[in-house]
Amino acid sequence: MSQKKTVTVLGATGSVGTNTVELLGYHAEKFEVYGLTANSNAEKLAEQAIKLKARKAVIADQGKLAELRERLKGHNIEALAGEQALLELASEKVDWTMAAIAGFAGLDSLFAAVQRGGHIAIANKEPLVAAGHLLKTAAGKCSAVLLPVDSEHNAVFQCLETENKSSLSKITLTASGGPFLSWSYEEMRKATPEQAVAHPNWSMGQKISVDSATLMNKALEVIEAVIFFDLSPEQIDVVVHPQSLIHAFVSYSDGSVLTHMGPADMKVPILHALSYPQRLGTCTEELDIQKLSSLTFQAVDADKFPALNLAYRALEMGQGGCLALNAANEVAVRNFLEEKVLFTDIVDICTKILDMYEGPSQIQSVEMCRQTDERVRKLTESYIIDTYISQSAAI
């Protein structure tokens, strides 16, 4: 009987997915890959599926099925396409699932995986921000173990003494500060998408790279931490640490502060989640502590980076506020990448949408979550058209 852990990777062709695939290849003797998914990148998905001898490869874009089939010809890998096929794959039984689809688009497959049970590694933070309470309840009912993959949350997870949770006073998430840490507000106003996605420490997908530049990523992570670790917003702090070597601090009431260090490489938290509760050897470069020259920490400049405070405001508004912040941000980031709004408009748009939000404060079902998300997206799109696009057309 095989002792291998069976695995599915949702969003295998992205930045987190590619790192996961690399680790699965490195530890091929320990894992049996059941399914891999992509949105439209059939070429990369086929390459990965062949390399890992996956049983199934699912592409969300139906139009890419013929290409995927052609590329998988001669290999014993089932090629499927469409959102329904992706959902079905997510709900098929495996021991471990990586949720690494970008954005709210990963909500349904993440829920499907959680409802099926097993270990679920969550990189895909947006569904957690929008519907974290529902996800946690579903996980509790289905005995799913949720493992955080965001490097900061994975660090907290490793430093958290569950038996001493009542003695935990606060957690501090580190933020690299992104590519614009030393830029003036005026310079940021003119930042291009290419400049915004050029992160100094991490190589990531476009959306999270822009979020790191606005610090909205940290705002989403504050919400994620409150929900994931069941803490109050006042217990979550953020500090800028440009070297990205310390990922979080966990402070206890006796004055002890536990911290987690590691190279700025997503393979480290992914491998932790992949091997949990054991530890496997890594294929990444080890951190040479003797070579560390200086570690610096500074407060977030809230005037320059107003996104962070939006997290606390959204949390005060309830799960609906968090959902609205996430939806408005996804729409605003897309409009920035399409060069329809400026970089600094992203956070202004999110602020305005929170001002205008009249939806429910509590989200009681996945259906309610989807509907509210859709309404906020429509509101944000029309706000952007009225405020930025029609205005500039009129000039």
Ligand X SMILES: NC(=O)c1ccc[n+]([C@@H]2O[C@H](COP(=O)([O-])OP(=O)(O)OC[C@H]3O[C@@H](n4cnc5c(N)ncnc54)[C@H](OP(=O)(O)O)[C@@H]3O)[C@@H](O)[C@H]2O)c1
Binding site for ligand X (CB under 6 A): 11-17, 38-41, 60, 100-102, 105, 123-126, 150, 202, 204-205, 208, 266
Q: Are 369 and 107 in contact (CB under 8 A)?
A: yes
Nearest distance from C-beta of residue 10 to ligand X, angstroms: 7
Nearest distance from C-beta of residue 29 to ligand X, angstroms: 25
User: Closest residue (Cβ) to ligand X?
Assistant: 14
Nearest distance from C-beta of residue 237 to ligand X, angstroms: 19
Nearest distance from C-beta of residue 274 to ligand X, angstroms: 15
Q: Which is nearer to ligand X, 12 or 49 (CB)?
A: 12
All residues at 6 or more sequence positions from 213 whose CB lies less than 8 Å from its CB, including other chains? 178, 179, 180, 191, 196, 197, 199, 343
Distance CA 93, CA 113 (A): 8
All residues at 6 or more sequence positions from 386 whose CB lies less than 8 Å from its CB, including other chains? none
* Cα atoms in the Cβ-side hemisphere of radius 13 Å centred on 91: 11
All residues at 6 or more sequence positions from 68 whose CB lies less than 8 Å from its CB, including other chains? 42, 45, 46, 57, 59, 79, 81
Q: Which is nearer to ligand X, 17 or 179 (CB)?
A: 17
Q: Which is nearer to ligand X, 14 or 359 (CB)?
A: 14
Nearest distance from C-beta of residue 100 to ligand X, angstroms: 5
Q: Which is nearer to ligand X, 86 or 352 (CB)?
A: 86
The two tokens of residue 45 are 């998905």
Q: Are 366 and 107 in contact (CB under 8 A)?
A: yes
Q: Are 331 and 103 in contact (CB under 8 A)?
A: no
The two tokens of residue 154 are 């994975």
Nearest distance from C-beta of residue 265 to ligand X, angstroms: 9
Q: Which is nearer to ligand X, 205 or 263 (CB)?
A: 205
Q: What is the CA radius of gyration of the chain?
A: 21
Nearest distance from C-beta of residue 258 to ligand X, angstroms: 21
Distance CA 154, CA 99 (A): 14
Q: Which is nearer to ligand X, 172 or 212 (CB)?
A: 212
Q: Which is nearer to ligand X, 18 or 275 (CB)?
A: 18
Distance CA 282, CA 274 (A): 11
